[in-house]
Amino acid sequence: MIDKRKTNNNLDWVIILLYGVFVSIGLLVVYASSHDDSRPFFDTRQLYIRQLIWVCTSIIIASFILVTDNKIYTTFAYFIYAAVLIMVIGVFFFGHEVNGNKNWFEIGSFQLQPSEFAKFSVALVLAKYLGNQNNNLKSNKTKMVSLALIFFPALLIQLQGDTGSTLVFLSFFLVLYRFGLPGEFLALGLGVLTLSVFSLLIDKFTLIAILFIMAGASLYFIKRTKVAYFVIAGLFICASLYVTTTNYVFNHVLRSHQQERIKVLLGQEVNVKDADYNVRQSKIAIGSGGFLGKGPLHGTLTKYNFVPEQHTDFIFCTIGEEYGFLGTTLFVSLFLFLLIRILSLAERQRSKFSRIYAYGVASILFFHFLINIGMTIGLAPVIGIPLPFISYGGSSLWSFTILLFILIKLDADRLAVLR
């Protein structure tokens, strides 16, 4: 009943093309920020060659997803979820410790990070669970189970010391919101996010003063009941506490091993106590690109390694420095286009499973986009998560490829789904 040709006929070539564009940009900027001219061009120690290998294997994986039956994901979602969890737990016993993070498997000279795969498995399992007509997010039981499905892998990953990957799981709140979680949760989440951003940008006492004025003003506009007083006072106190502690948390808790990495990388050269070093260098690199950029492979800060981890988490600097405001704007627009395209894909799905899954994909990609680029331009805290399809790294490329191509496969088969 399901015709193979039908799949091919309905493939969303726009998204596949976008994927191709992003992966190519990724190869180019990884080359720019990591090539070592003292070694031969085709040397597997050159990171771009390794990235090329990852791209090729990703294409094989993508093709495999497109030709296999989508029932693997719809039927075996729980099974896949369990399998990934076992892999993540396995890292505790057989894992390889890198930079204080014990979340790698070593296969030859390549490394695999199971936590990356937890993302799509959670997206699948949420789709499966919430796709069931019996589960409605209005019920407390469904809320609890959904949160448990999200937070269990998140907790395991946090235990491995990878705070960045853990925070990515917050993105599933967007999915829960879309499918019925009360709006206050999202408002709260957005409020926290806004506060974080402002607390990085504005002096904290000024910010508290602004909050105080806002609290007073809101009392003026709404009905002044006892409850309203308590809620607003409570919100103000929480927000003020958050603002005063957030910098401390970012500087001292979240970044502690990030600092270690810089220390290792730079020796005594840089005042490592200055946790803003990464962001400062990153902003300098991007800012120095100007309107048109310095041109491909002409980024001097990129070439001479001024931004630590530039081929992974700070890859956006290379785009900023070499391609300027034109390049970054184009990139942001392309990414926005991808996200919006995924949303419209989501809405055209007949099955609830596919739709929820699509929202999962969009949320994960958005969160990476938000945090990664936000961090390089000083709008978000330094949390080490990759820029999808661009940053160097096999596990993340594989994981994003799987994430996206399962959606493409589900979308292609959408007409075959019985209502």
Partner 1 sequence: MDTLASRRKVLQMVFYIIATVFVLRLLFIQVLNKNYKQLANNNVLRKVTLYPSRGLIYDRNGKLILFNQAEYDLLVVPGQIKKFDTLNLCNTLGLEISNFKKELFKAYKYSRFKPTVIVKGIQSELYAQLQEDLFLYPGFYAQVRMVRTYPIAAAAHVLGYISEVTLKQIDKSDGYYQQGDYIGTGGLEQYYEKILRGKKGVKYVLVDVHNREQGAFNEGQMDTLAIPGINLHSTLDIDLQQYGEKLMQGKVGSVVAIDPSTGEVLAMISSPTYDPRLITGRERGKNFSKLYADSLKPLFVRPLKASYPPGSIYKPLLGLIGLQEQAILPSSTYSCAGAYSVGSSRVGCHHSGFVNNIIEAIQHSCNAYFCMSFRKMVDNNKYKTVAQGLDSWKSYLSSFGIGVRMKTDLPGVGYGFIPGSDYYNEIYGVGHWNSLTIVSLGIGQGEIGLTPLQMANEMTAIANHGWFYTPHLVKKVDDDTSTVLKIFKEKNIIPIEKKWFDVTVEAMKEVVEAGTGQIAQIPGLTMGGKTGTAQNPHGKDHSLFICFSPVVDPKIAIAVIVENAGFGASYGAPIASLMIEKYLNDTISTPRKYLEQRMFEADLIHNKFQQTPVH
Among 48, 335, 389, 392, binds partner 1 (CB under 8 A): 335
Minimum distance, C-beta of residue 290 to partner 1, in the bound complex (Å): 6
Among 41, 93, 248, 304, binds partner 1 (CB under 8 A): 304
Residue with smaller CB distance to partner 1, 108 or 183: 183
Residue with smaller CB distance to partner 1, 74 or 310: 310
Among 288, 296, 414, 417, binds partner 1 (CB under 8 A): 288
For residue 105, give the DSSP letter.
Answer: E
Helices (H) and strands (E) in the chain, counts: 18, 3
Size of the site for partner 1 (CB under 8 A): 52
Mask 90-129, x = binds partner 1 (CB under 8 A)? ----------------------------------------
Angle between helices 277-287 and 316-347 (to 10 degrees): 90
Binders in 7-66 for partner 1, by CB under 8 A: none
CA gap 289, 263 in Å, rounded: 27
Report phi then psi at 228, rounded to 5.
Answer: -60, -45
Task: Based on the shown chain and the rule CB under 8 A, indicate whether residue 284 belongs to the binding site for partner 1.
Answer: yes
CA gap 67, 318 in Å, rounded: 36
Task: Based on the shown chain and the rule CB under 8 A, indicate whether residue 400 belongs to the binding site for partner 1.
Answer: no
Minimum distance, C-beta of residue 77 to partner 1, in the bound complex (Å): 22
Residue with smaller CB distance to partner 1, 71 or 348: 348
Q: Name 293's Cβ contacts closer than 8 Å, sequence gap at least 6.
A: 299, 320, 321, 322, 323, 324, 325, 326, 327
Residue 33: count of CB within 10 angstroms of its CB: 29
Residue with smaller CB distance to partner 1, 11 or 193: 193
Minimum distance, C-beta of residue 419 to partner 1, in the bound complex (Å): 15
Residue with smaller CB distance to partner 1, 78 or 198: 198
What's the angle, vertex CA 194, arms to CA 189 and CA 198, rounded to 5? 150
Residue with smaller CB distance to partner 1, 157 or 181: 181
User: What is the torsional sign of CA 139, 140, 143, 145?
Assistant: negative
Task: Based on the shown chain and the rule CB under 8 A, indicate whether residue 379 belongs to the binding site for partner 1.
Answer: yes
For residue 101, give the DSSP letter.
Answer: E
Q: Name 271's Cβ contacts closer than 8 Å, sequence gap at least 6.
A: 277
Q: How far is CA 22 from CA 212, 273, 335, 369, in A?
A: 44, 35, 9, 13
Among 80, 157, 373, 375, binds partner 1 (CB under 8 A): 373
Q: Find tokens 């296969």 and name the residue.
A: 107
Residue with smaller CB distance to partner 1, 285 or 390: 285
Q: Where are the alpha helices (DSSP H) in 222-351?
A: 226-248, 256-266, 277-287, 300-303, 316-347
Task: Based on the shown chain and the rule CB under 8 A, indicate whether residue 281 belongs to the binding site for partner 1.
Answer: yes
Binders in 235-274 for partner 1, by CB under 8 A: 266-269
Footprint of partner 1 on this chain (CB under 8 A)? 174, 177-180, 183, 186, 190, 266-269, 281, 283-291, 300-301, 303-306, 320, 324-325, 328-329, 332-333, 335-336, 339-340, 343, 346-347, 359, 362, 366, 369-370, 373-374, 377-379
